[in-house]
Structure 1
Amino acid sequence: NAGIPADNVLNAQAFGYAPMGFNEYDPEKAKELIEKSGVKDPKVVLLYSIVRDPLNPELAEAVKGYLEPVGIKCDLLGMEHATYSAEGRSRPYEDRK
């Protein structure tokens, strides 16, 4: 048994857990939704990968691998944890969307 895929940020034994299910990866549907949204040529999704954890760069690349085929240009920025934290705290809340 390799484990149970997580379908929530909480585990099944945690108070407040509710199964969320999974969304299927559907690039054609994603392209359609982006087109319907009116967003023209989405160019940048900036992901901060905390390089302290060796899996984070791989995770960031995986996310990029899902976004770029649907037309969302994705630039990755890896930084040390202390820099990542300071950068996040220095931005106004409105810029954290």
Structure 2
Amino acid sequence: MNMLVRQEPTIGEINARLLTARAKIGTGRFMLGYGVSETVSCYITYWWKPDQYAWEDCRAIGEGSVEDCLHAAEAFAADLSAQNAAAVPAIAAE
């Protein structure tokens, strides 16, 4: 009998993917919540401080399987990185 067993990412793989996503943004942190009952469930949030004197703020960015949350973090980082790049004014060549 050939059964396909879905493997969850290892802690090392999760850390590497979240650190890579965070590096694209350059600030803030991801928090991954993980629960196990009959099934594995997961949620991921992004925490940041708008400025040095502000309270930390949070945004929920994904839920589902661990892989769903990692994909959500990577997509969120790519979108935020693109928004940040678009907000930086281009320096005109002289």
TM range, smaller chain = under 0.3
Q: Which has the higher strand share?
A: 2
Report the TM-score when normalising by structure 1: 0.25
TM-score calculated relative to the size of structure 2: 0.26
